Amino acid sequence: MIESISVKLDNPYRIVIGNNILENAGELIKNELPYKRFAIITDEIVSKLYLDKLECSLKKCGLECESIIIEGGEQNKNIKTVYDIYSLLSRKSITRGDCIIALGGGVVGDMAGFAASTYLRGISYIQIPTTLLAQVDSSIGGKTAVDIEEGKNLVGSFWQPSFVIIDTDTLNTLPECEFNSGMAEAIKSALIGDKELFEMFKKYDRSNINVKDVILKSIFVKKKYVEKDVFDNGERHILNFGHTIGHAVEKASGYELKHGEAVSIGMSAICSIGEIKGYTRKGIKDELNSILDKYSLSHNIANYKNDCIKFLNKDKKNRGGAIDAVFIDDVGEPFIKEIGLDELYVCVERL
């Protein structure tokens, strides 16, 4: 069964979710959008697994496609890779009447989206996320970005996809550690916006949790904040729960930690700080940590503390030495509170 969710923005778009729907992608796209020619952007790993299937599905429906295979990994999420994408799009004569398809995880999605937003001053793109992280989070909401030496996602744009196709079967080939990393963002969604999902995480583990349900519920949380504040001027900051410290930890680890792994440490740290300061109900951090344990996600910041403090300074939301940090009062009750960086450093040091 295919589920469909609409993201209601000025340029609304649909997200469809089902199992084994990649082989029907051509038909789904043909029924949804007017484009006849596509540039598929994917990475080396995903191309071996799913590119043929997608190309065949498009061609079967009379749609033309070109493919661009980039080197994946966070270390390649930079302007150099995007430059290569621009060149290849141009050499393959992709025009504004054509459409990009991002086939892969969050790294491919963020870079293909950024390329789509800037190539020829902006062309349409479709997200076909193949990691759990991308399915529950990064493929929705239109944030695109690349990293620079000074920090993560510091260059980017808001550029909404025209369509999102989620084939849950692609998760069958995903390494366990990548699955777990994606779970971190779903756990974040539960903490900021869905008590029922949080209870599911407490009750079930990897062996018996309903993954499609996790994806659907997480998307609803994200969609709610994106629709309210598409350009991230206020309420959408809530989605950054755990990310301020998480991004700093990710950078401090030299990107050894996966995004979700770093966010797990960040979420646990901000719950600790919230409990110490009396903002957060006592006990949440322990409940969170035992859920993180089920997915082998660390909640120990010790190894990254010193470098993490250095990188906190570079956070995009740092305004004159203060930051809007996201705390939770209780599960599903997030709030934003300004905290001075000096105070945050002291709190992190004490963890």
Q: Which residues bind ligand NAD (CB under 6 A)?
A: 43, 45-46, 49, 72-74, 77, 104-108, 110, 130-131, 133-134, 137-138, 141, 143, 153, 170, 173-174, 178, 181, 258-259
> Cβ(17)–Cβ(216) under 8 Å?
yes
Kindly state the smallest distance separating residue 117's Cβ from ligand NAD, in Å: 12
Spatial separation of the C-alpha atoms in residues 116 and 120, rounded to whole Å: 8
CB within 8 A of 304, min separation 6: which ones? 248, 249, 252, 253, 265
Spatial separation of the C-alpha atoms in residues 175 and 189, rounded to whole Å: 22
Nearer to ligand NAD, 110 or 194 (CB): 110
Nearer to ligand NAD, 116 or 347 (CB): 116
Beta bridge partners of 100: 39, 125
Kindly state the smallest distance separating residue 57's Cβ from ligand NAD, in Å: 16
Spatial separation of the C-alpha atoms in residues 282 and 43, rounded to whole Å: 43
Spatial separation of the C-alpha atoms in residues 25 and 139, rounded to whole Å: 16
Nearer to ligand NAD, 184 or 347 (CB): 184
Kindly state the smallest distance separating residue 207's Cβ from ligand NAD, in Å: 20
Kindly state the smallest distance separating residue 110's Cβ from ligand NAD, in Å: 5
Kindly state the smallest distance separating residue 73's Cβ from ligand NAD, in Å: 6
Nearer to ligand NAD, 131 or 268 (CB): 131
Nearer to ligand NAD, 46 or 347 (CB): 46
> Cβ(39)–Cβ(120) under 8 Å?
no
| DSSP strand pairing (99-104 vs 143-148) | unpaired
